[in-house]
Amino acid sequence: MNKYICVKEAFEYIYIGHGQKKISLDELRDLQEYLEKTIPANKNALDIKHNKFRFINYVGIISINNFTIEIIPKISLSNDEKQDKKILLDMLSKCSDIELSIDNSIDSNIEKCNLIELIANKYLDSLIKELNKGNFHDYINKEENIKVVRGKIMFNKHIKKNNFKKGKIFCSYDEYSDDNLLNQTFKLACIKILNKVQDIKLKNKTKKSLSILGNVSNESKSNEIINNIKLNNQNKRFSNVLQLAKFILLNLANENSSGSKNGFSMLFEMNDLFEKYIGKIVQMLCCKNNKKAITQDKRNYLLIDTKNNKKSFNLKPDIVIEDNNIPFMIIDTKWKAVEYNSKSSYQVSDIYQMYAYANAYKQVKKVILLYPSLGEEKEYPSWKLINDDNKFIEVKTVRLDSYKNTVNDLEKIIYD
């Protein structure tokens, strides 16, 4: 029987032992080996204590052999697991430009389905809906040895291939076919899903989709090819389906954990996800108010090398907000809990970094350290620069328990 455990990132521990909600030492070793192969070497996903461990920095799902762990962010203020999953899906949707709106089908399944199953269900429903209208066909160029002339004869290849053969001609021709790159991508996403889900209804949906795509080949494609697929007027109805297929193929990792042991995962670094989510909303708010928000701005440097007079130590604040091309605010996101006057809440190095931003961006008036709100609203620190009474470094929080609250909080931070 597959063991399933759901925990909140950085807040809940998994205990080492035997039982449905515990992990054995062997399982923990398998988990560590798998993570070493699937996340960057300079990143850390586990915080291991005596007889327990927790996930830090990463959310998503990981499955190895007979156990599956789902890690969700601590977002809702009422410890609502269902709400946390909803908001995670919304964050992924906004950051990946895919349609993962919480409709009735997702809302009714969110408690009994894991992250992969929810996304797969949305993808398969969208795919089947479009395939029922008809498979997409396109002209595909083929080159092969055939018995009759079709298209044009490739003379150089014909001579090379058929020097000692009679009755065949090497031709290049266009064939109107559903075995095209778009449908191949859809099929690859279905195949990847099929071996990753346990739900019978979901497996049957996947098999139905594969049956409709029966004439389509399933050769693997590189991430670059998948990323560069473009739609036109003939196939734009598949736009949302394609974004979901890309999301599944590019994020669903499938690696050997150790020896013959197999695992798969869909993990997201929360620092990056939080930064991208806030960046998307700030850009939307600025666009509505004739302002401009630049993410990962690289225009300024900290120092100049005296030997070659070249700029050194590029500063890259998360978000720079401009009015008429003049920067007036910087927002830097930090995914961690913050409490007023608590030394453990914010690192001194973060304040030094904000000070560097304030000095490098001469016209900026406010530099904001932005944290997620995980409790009641409080008054957070605000510092004025010693040599400039018009520049401030401030700590702010933003609610993530609903998209509306996030937008409202950011609007107040930017415009109040």
How far is 283 from 399, CA to CA, in rounded Å?
A: 18
pLDDT in tens, the chain (416 residues): 578 899 999 989 999 998 888 999 999 999 999 999 888 888 899 999 999 999 999 999 999 988 999 999 988 766 778 888 888 988 998 888 777 655 555 555 677 788 899 899 989 999 999 999 999 998 888 778 876 877 787 877 887 777 766 778 888 878 888 989 999 999 999 999 998 888 899 999 999 999 999 999 988 889 899 988 989 998 999 999 999 999 999 998 876 544 445 788 999 999 999 999 999 999 999 999 999 999 999 888 888 888 888 888 889 999 999 999 999 999 999 998 776 555 545 678 889 999 999 999 999 999 999 999 877 667 788 899 998 888 999 999 999 988 999 999 999 999 88
327 beta partners: 322
Query: Which residue do the tokens 């908001």 mark?
Result: 87
Position 190 scores a pLDDT of 95
Q: Which domains does the chain have, with CATH numbers?
A: 1-74+252-269 (no CATH), 80-138+153-163+170-251 (no CATH), 289-415 (3.40.1350)
> In angstroms, rounded to a whole number, what is the distance separating the alpha carbons of residues 105 and 83?
15
* DSSP structural state of residue 183: H
What b-and-e string marks burial along 269-301, b requiring 16 or more CB atoms within 10 Å of the CB?
A: bbbebbbbbbbbbbbebbeeeebbbbbebeebe
- Rg of the chain over CA atoms, in angstroms? 26
Residue 414 tokens read as: 């930017």
Give the closest residue to 320 by CA, choosing from 310, 333, 309.
Answer: 333
